[in-house]
Structures are given as structure tokens and as C-alpha cells.
Amino acid sequence: MGIEALIVEDFRNYARAAVEFPRPVTALVGRNAQGKTNLLEALYVAATLQSFRSARTEDLVRTGAEGFFVRARLTGPAGVRTATVQGGAGGLAAALDGRRLRGPAELRSLVPAVVFSPEDLILAGSGSEPRRRYLDRLAALTQRASHGDDLRRARRITEQRNRLLQARAAAALEEWDLQLAAAYARIAGRRQQATAAVAERLAGTYGALGGPGAAGVAYRPAFGAEPEPDPGALEEQILKALARRRLEELRAGVSLVVPQRDEVVLTLDGRPVPHQASRGEARLLALALRGVELELTRTATGEPPILLLDDVLSELDGVRLDRVLAFVRSTDQVVLTALEGAALGALGADATLYRVEDGHIGELRSA
């Protein structure tokens, strides 16, 4: 389903605003710090029950207000539905057609959303944590497994092992090693599958956006080898790595063979991206990763995802800008932000523009 209209109250810098999305592409145009990104964030909250900018619900509430309210009118082959989200110091409460939702799963499958923001440049940075989170999101989405439960279980086991390692209690580690290997094997297997799915699509998506070179991605688990395809063999592989690094772990006083230490490496022409990519190439790589996520989300949910693009057009030259705009036009529903003066005419007649100024949204007009 798509989002046809949105109403927000007391959300970020908006006292109240209403906006409709009658065409496949909508552009929110204005100067910086006027509320363009805030509106994208409200759309993402309406679709996923979470922010892409803050983990604190209180951060979303307008200064001086007690809470915020977001209502989205959804349309699709099944008809019209209404999603509402309220939030404040007590957390979030959501409903679909007036029926209280206990969690985000139903809404996310109904209105899947993928967001690109300038912060996504960290996907092409030197640290693997953002790319691990990206893989874990895809693993949970595409493999319909309790991936998040296994990640939480592995973190709890790691904390217990760290206490034992710091106490030099080597004899007590065996039982925790067995539990860690079981959870880690499931996590590594899913991460490996997610990496293969991304690798299959990344080079083509990056090239279609005008990126130079051949983009690739590789998963390098902390146990130091290609994961075995058989779950039982994979557990044994992890247990052997734990035994092999036992003395090293005891000296360090921390766990070294855990999912939190897995590496996910992006490459251009076979070289690691932080040493190879320019800022413009890193932006295109991050956008390509979101493009892959968009495709995998569509396949997994059976619904066309909404693509939210925050400041995607800046720092792009003419050819790459044309490629990105072509990508935008090919997507089912896109809402993007742009600074005044951005080259939006190439979006075509199927786009609409809003001017955003100080928390107010101007009249609808065609691009």
C-alpha cells in the first residue's frame, strides 16, 4: 500500500500540518532547517513505528507539547486504511483502522518503507557496525526468522562470558561457549545469505546510478572462515575458533569470537571502500545499498515500498544526477527533500512539489 495523505500534530517543529501525495513522486523543497526532514521522519514513523534519526520518542515531540500525533491514510488494492501513531514520554501507541497494534510487524508488512539520509554515508565508512545493522535488518526481513532474538541472546551470552573471562574462570566457559555457538551459527548463516543477496544486486544497482567501478560486498565473520552451509558444521566451526582463541580471550578479558565483531566489507574494484571511494562515490554506494534494500523489501513483503530520500541530490554531477532522478522515477512511491534551486524539472509530470518553510507546507503544484 502507499501513503495517500499525512496529518501531523506537535511533531518536531510542526504544530499541525496536512499533506497529500497524489502522484508517485513528491518533492519537499526549501532551505535548511525548515522541517523537510521532519516530515520524512513522520512518514517513516507512520510506516515503521520508529524514527530513523533518534531512539528517544521524546525527541519527536514539539517543544512545549506533551506528545505528538501522526495519522496516515493508506491506499492499495485492498482499499483505504488509516494508521495512527501517538508518542510521548510513555513511548509509542499505534492503531490500524482504530484497532490497537501490539507491535510494528503488521504495519511494516503493510507499508514497508526504506529511507536514505546523509547519515547513510557511514555505510561506506571504515567501521562495520552500520553495515552489520544493515545486514541484520535484511536478514530479519527476508528470512522471516527470529534474528533479533538471536542477536539479543548473543549479546547476553557475550556479557556473561566477558565477566568470566575477566575473572579468569576458564572452566566455566564451556557451557556458555555451546550456547554462543548455537546462536552465532544462526546469525552467521543468515548474515551470509543476506550478503549473497546484496552482492547479487549491488554492482548492477551501483552502476545504474552512475557509479564508477565494480561494487562488491563480503562477509567476514569473527571466527575467521567462510561459514559452513550446514548448521551443525557451522556450530562446530565456531566452537573450534573459540577453543583456538581461548588464551587470547583470557589475556584480553573480552570475547573475541562473537557476532558483534563480524566484518562486512564494501569494495570498489576489489579494494576496500574507505581507501578507494570519493565522497560522491560513497554517497552513490550508500544509495545503491538502499536500492538493494528496496528490491529485497518488495520481494519479501509483496508490497511496493515507499522510498524516502533526504538530501540525495546534493553533491551529484550532471550524469549521476540524471541517473538518480531516473531511479527515483522508476520507484512506486518516492518522497524526497531538496534545497531550493535543485534540478527537479527532470522528475517529470508525475511529480508534485511542496514548499516547506518554518514548519509550514505550501500549496501543491506540479513539477
DSSP 215-249: EEEEEE-TTSSPPPSSHHHHHHHHHHHHHHTHHHH
Q: Does residue 328 form part of some domain? A: yes
In the prediction, which pLDDT does 273 show? 86
Q: Are residues 76 and 150 in the same domain?
A: no
Number of structural domains, the chain? 2
pLDDT (tens place) for every residue of the chain, 367 residues total = 899 999 999 999 999 999 999 989 999 999 999 999 999 999 999 999 999 998 899 999 999 999 999 999 999 887 999 999 999 988 899 999 999 998 888 888 888 999 999 888 889 888 899 999 999 999 988 776 689 899 999 999 999 999 999 999 999 999 999 999 999 999 999 999 999 999 999 999 999 998 888 999 999 999 998 999 999 999 999 999 999 999 999 999 999 999 999 999 999 988 888 766 777 888 899 999 999 999 999 998 888 899 999 988 877 777 888 888 888 888 899 999 988 777 677 776 778 899 999 999 987 565 5
In the prediction, which pLDDT does 276 show? 64
Q: Are 353 and 44 in contact (CB under 8 A)?
A: no
CB atoms within 10 A of CB 347: 23
Q: Are residues 187 and 206 in the same domain?
A: yes
Q: Which of 331, 274, 342, 268 is nearest to 304 (CA)?
A: 331
In the prediction, which pLDDT does 364 show? 58
In the prediction, which pLDDT does 144 show? 66
CATH number at residue 62: 3.40.50.300
Q: How far apart are CA 7 and CA 240, in angstroms?
A: 56
Provide the domain limits for residue 67.
Answer: 2-112+303-366
Q: Are residues 103 and 127 in the same domain?
A: no
Domain boundary, last residue among 222, 256, 275 = 275
Q: Does residue 238 form part of some domain? A: yes
Q: Does residue 118 form part of some domain? A: no
Q: Does residue 297 form part of some domain? A: no
Residue whose C-alpha cell is 497524489: 22
Q: Does residue 135 form part of some domain? A: yes
pTM for the model stands at: 0.90
In the prediction, which pLDDT does 109 show? 82
Q: Are residues 136 and 237 in the same domain?
A: yes
Q: Does residue 117 form part of some domain? A: no
Name the E strands within 254-349: 263-268, 271-272, 306-309, 333-338
Q: Does residue 164 form part of some domain? A: yes
In the prediction, which pLDDT does 76 show? 85
Alpha carbon distances (Å) from 358 to 17, 26, 35, 355:
11, 19, 6, 10
Q: Are residues 359 and 328 in the same domain?
A: yes
In the prediction, which pLDDT does 227 show? 93
Q: Are residues 265 and 315 in the same domain?
A: no
Q: Are residues 129 and 215 in the same domain?
A: yes
CATH number at residue 216: 1.20.1050.90
Q: Are residues 137 and 268 in the same domain?
A: yes
Q: Are residues 343 and 237 in the same domain?
A: no
Beta bridge partners of 334: 25, 307
Q: Are residues 185 and 231 in the same domain?
A: yes
Q: How far apart are CA 259 and CA 188, in angstroms?
A: 7
Q: Does residue 290 form part of some domain? A: no
Q: How far apart are CA 18 and CA 73, in angstroms?
A: 11
Q: Would you state the cell numbers that stand for residue 357, as one nine-digit string?
A: 518553510
Q: Are residues 189 and 84 in the same domain?
A: no
In the prediction, which pLDDT does 322 show? 86
Helices 147-166, 129-142: axis angle to 10 degrees equals 140
Q: By CB neighbour count within 10 A (0-12 exposed, 13-18 middle, 19+ buried), where does 45 fall?
A: buried
Domain boundary, last residue among 230, 256, 275 = 275
Q: Are residues 176 and 261 in the same domain?
A: yes
